Structure 1
Amino acid sequence: MTPISPSSRRRPRIFAARRTLRTVSLTLALPVALALAGCDANLMDVFKSKETVGGSDGTQAAGRNPDKGAAPASTFTQFNDIPIPAGSDLDLEQSLVLGTEEGWIGRLSLTVKYDMTDMYSFYEREMPKFSWEQLTTVRAKISTMTYRRGARVATITLQPNSGIAGIGSGTAIDFTVAPANRTVLDSGTVRR
């Protein structure tokens, strides 16, 4: 059996220290980024607007006065690069958006009165109209759809929205948009 040299014993500690430093850095960077995003007056004005929205193709949400914790339908005017079902309510507590117009990234948490089958068909039909290319789909009790457009990737998660006493009342939609991995952009395929 060969003895372990002192230098080989230190190596795991160095890697552990680097991981810890990276975790701490990311933990500190997130609140700073959120604080800076909150300084964007245009983004905050969007959530205060009371105007109604009427998309020419019917995919934008129609104006209405949603429940507490939800944003007015005019909030969706900022998101002109994705289809949003009419009558959607945005859950502000579960949503986080950074950037504006076609450069935004983040998560939109929506609820709609339509069933999940209709929403799956809606996004499968409407996303290509907004120049999103379908990458993958999983149709199940909780369905996931992934699309790519330029330098961004969108993941749509659909699940039944439990109403009062567990009786279904529509669909909960999580719409996440993030920058694409550089290797995906370069080749159009994922490299490992």
Structure 2
Amino acid sequence: MKKRMLSVLGAVALGLGGCGGASRTETTGARPDFPEGVQGQRFELRLKGVNNPGYDSALVQVRRISVTTVEGEALPVRLKSRFPMELTHPEQAHLVGLFLVPEGVERVKVEVTFDDFGGYEAASSGGVIDTRVAPLRFEAPLAYLNEHGRAVVHLDLNQSLQTHGEAKLLLPSLDVRY
């Protein structure tokens, strides 16, 4: 089973490598999260897998995050997740990114888009997770974000990973904690 998972993840990595992987590289040396002069309160966006029905592994990688006001104005974001995230570790809430919210904004819209494919392994099977179906989307009131400085998306693995042939489709079922 481990060999199958490794071969699936190897194929996914090769496919992702040819799809603009250079944009994910980070330059060396210290640099600020946001350019100097960009104003706003800083918040974290985290992702955690919950309600695992028995997967030994479930890996996904974030391609992009977008945070806007309810009116559609884009806010500054920084993608921090550069590698696949293992969602079967219930104690781990992966840092996906950071975003800034200017004064006067009361609510933001958040969207997380995954790379095209991830991978899973269970006791009796393993394969690809097709994450192209739908991004994660939610609205966050600033009053809630201010409590701890973050939004933690709890992705329900039991409800979100639906069987489709030999693959799993990611149809996000989530709960946001602040």
Instruction: Please report the TM-score for the alignment, with normalisation by the length of structure 1.
Output: 0.27
Structure of higher RCO (CA pairs closer than 8 Å, 6+ residues apart): 2
Which structure is higher in helix share?
A: 1
Bigger proportion of residues as strand: 2
Q: TM-score of the superposition, structure 2-length normalised?
A: 0.29
Which protein shows a greater Rg? 1
